[in-house]
Amino acid sequence: MNFEISKEPIDTQSIIDKVIQREAGAITTFIGTVRELTAGKKTLYLIYEAYESMAVKKLEQIGREIEERWTGAKVAISHRVGKLEITDIAVVIAVSTPHRADSYEANRYAIERIKEIVPIWKKEHWEDGEEWIGNQLETVAYPTGKPEESDLDE
Amino acid sequence: MNFEISKEPIDTQSIIDKVIQREAGAITTFIGTVRELTAGKKTLYLIYEAYESMAVKKLEQIGREIEERWTGAKVAISHRVGKLEITDIAVVIAVSTPHRADSYEANRYAIERIKEIVPIWKKEHWEDGEEWIGNQLETVAYPTGKPEESDLDE
Amino acid sequence: MNKVMFFAHLRDAVGEESVSVDLTGKTVAEAKAILSEQHGINLETVMTAVNEEFAGDDDVLSDGDVVAFIPPVSGG
Amino acid sequence: MNKVMFFAHLRDAVGEESVSVDLTGKTVAEAKAILSEQHGINLETVMTAVNEEFAGDDDVLSDGDVVAFIPPVSGG
């Protein structure tokens, strides 16, 4: 189960453990955490929602894409759903490869792909309101034309 | 103590914990592990040796360089010394930043700088011999002209 | 019959996680038009998944296909 | 007097972690020549640290300075 949607807090070490291999000299992890400030606005908490069965399939697809593109790569990804507080972990991506350059590149590829094709949505809650966030890659217009303050490089 | 040379096994999570911050949306870690095969040769184990006091200073310097170059970055690095077996952790670099692109770049910078300026040396032990490895960046000739099989992109 | 699923702001707007509609023989584009009309939602920039795989506007739906409207994602 | 430290293959070659030599007033380049001669080691491609900071070949050593020869590093 290297690719999962988790309702419980993610234990980073357990994700790292999934990609350990004798052939690997490098493991990179990306840990996406809930940041307090986005474009100057103070987040209280977030809700993540997923189309869970499809999201798992899409994470698996990203894993296959990486293993095809970077020889010897091994990948594990867990994405949290539910209510997350500031500094809570939303996603952990672990990639092991024989050589370190590949490990950074493949990991970066994974997070960019997650933001393109994995059906997971985030609702930000501020003191003065809440909003579903979309379109982090600006590939399509957000249906309501909002949020103008969305952060493309979270 | 965000920068240290460790005689004991490194606990990755404890390094990650050092860089958690409310302003950060991204944490990357690089975990360098002992790989079994380098250029087709089977490693039995490694010995890492450091000029410890200077190595800590140089790790601190790398941390300062990163914090100057990438706004809001927080860095922790631990490098192991002593005897390491296959898959053991040699180094853990954790970097947190507000935005993810910075986190990957700053982390990559750290490992490249470690391989340039931090006085730590690795001795590889194979079935048929042993050798101190140097010059991973090929900026200077290895004193003995060896090792020809050294791996520049570990 | 077909199950049609909504997520994120669409779920809030529709007030249901899913609805049952007969879309057999319709294209994805036609399905979007029908559901937009029925629920007063804008599906222009929304992707569509059929049986958990992204589908094109011209794909034709069969009986039993599960349709999901996928607003721009914001995971990670 | 000065403490001179050796690491990695240099330590193996010299057979000591450090030696005491008077290098007061000598440049780093001169120190290298002296130690190469004394211990039959090649210091051409070796960096030098004085009091835990990298030093240039023209830097002049003071009494008490700790000199370390730093072969190409291989950490990480």
The larger pLDDT score, comparing residue B144 to residue C11, is at C11
Alpha helices in A10-151 (DSSP H): 12-17, 52-69, 100-117
Residue C11: which domain range? 2-70
Give pLDDT tens digits for A47-57. Answer: 999 999 999 99
* Predicted-complex ipTM score: 0.91
Q: Check CB contact under 8 Å for A54 and C68.
A: yes
| Contact between A143 and C54 using a beta-carbon 8 Å cutoff | no
Q: For position B145, what pLDDT does the model report?
A: 33
Q: How far is A104 from chain B (nearest CA, A)?
A: 7
Q: How far apart are CA C39 and CA A4, in angstroms?
A: 32
D31: which 2 tokens? Answer: 């120190």
Q: Is the per-residue pLDDT at A154 higher than 90?
A: no
* Tens of each residue's pLDDT in chain B, 154 residues: 999 999 999 999 999 999 999 999 999 999 999 999 887 889 999 999 999 999 999 999 999 999 999 999 999 999 999 999 999 999 999 999 999 999 999 999 999 999 999 999 999 999 989 999 985 443 443 333 333 333 334 4
A135 pLDDT band (50/70/90 cuts)? low
Q: How far apart are CA D28 and CA D38, in angstroms?
A: 15
| Residue B92 contacts residue B19 (beta carbons within 8 Å) | no
Is C52 among the domain residues?
yes
Residue A115, by phi and psi: left (phi above 0), alpha (psi -120 to 50) or beta? alpha
In a domain, C50, yes or no: yes
Chain A contact for C72, CB < 8 A?
yes
SS3 content of chain C, % helix, strand, coil (to 5): 25, 30, 45
Shortest distance between the Cα of A141 and any Cα of chain B, in A, equals 22
Interface of C with A in 3-22 (CB under 8 A): 5, 7-9, 11-12
Q: Whole-angstrom Cα distance, residue B135 to residue A151?
A: 41
First and final CA of chain B: distance in angstroms? Answer: 27
Domain count, chain C: 1
**What's the full length of chain D, in residues?**
76
- pLDDT string in tens for chain D (76-residue length): 999 999 999 999 999 999 999 999 999 999 999 999 999 999 988 999 999 999 999 999 999 999 999 999 999 9
Closest by alpha carbon to A10, among A124, A87, A66? A87
Q: Do B143 and D52 touch (CB under 8 A)?
A: no
Please give the domain boundaries of chain A with CATH numbers for all domains. 3-147 (3.90.1170.40)
Output the pLDDT for position A145: 33
Please give the mean pLDDT across all residues of chain C.
97
| Cα separation, D47 vs A12, whole angstroms | 39
For residue B82, list chain D residues with Cβ-Cβ distance below 8 A. none
Size of interface A-C (CB pairs under 8 A): 93
DSSP D27: B
What pLDDT, on a 0 to 100 scale, did the predictor assign at position D9? Answer: 94
| Mean per-residue pLDDT of chain A | 89
A94-128 pLDDT, tens digit each: 999 999 999 999 999 999 999 999 999 999 999 98
Share of residues in chain A with pLDDT > 70 (%)? 87
Instruction: For residues B72 and B70, give the distance between their C-alpha atoms in angstroms, rounded to a whole number.
Output: 6
Q: Which of B51, B146, B149 to mutate to test the interface with D (most CBs of D within 10 A)?
A: B51
Look at residue A146 and tell me whether its pLDDT is greater than 50. Answer: no
**What's the pLDDT score for residue A144?**
37
Contact C7 A51 (CB under 8 A): yes
**Binary contact (C76, A90; C-beta < 8 A):** yes
User: Would an 8 Å CB–CB cutoff place A54 in contact with chain C?
Assistant: yes
Instruction: Give B26-66 pLDDT, tens digit per residue.
Output: 999 999 999 998 878 899 999 999 999 999 999 999 999 99
Q: Do chains C and D touch (3 or more CB pairs under 8 A)?
A: no
**pLDDT band for position A37 (50/70/90)?**
confident
Distance of alpha carbon C58 from alpha carbon B153, whole angstroms: 47
pLDDT value for B135: 52
- Indicate whether C76 belongs to any domain: no
pLDDT of A19 higher than 70: yes
Answer whether residue A82 shows pLDDT above 60: yes
Residue C75 within any structural domain of the chain: no
For the domain that residue C58 is a member of, what is the CATH number? Answer: 3.10.20.30
DSSP reduced 3-state for B55 = helix
d(CA B24, CA A26): 24
Residue C18 maps to a domain: yes
C74 CB neighbours in chain A (<8 A) are 115, 120-122, 132-136
Interatomic CA distance for residues A85 and A47, integer angstroms? 9
Cβ contact (<8 Å) for C7 and A136?
A: no
Give the nearest partner residue to B25 out of A26, A28, A35, using CB atoms: A35
CB atoms within 10 A of CB A52: 15
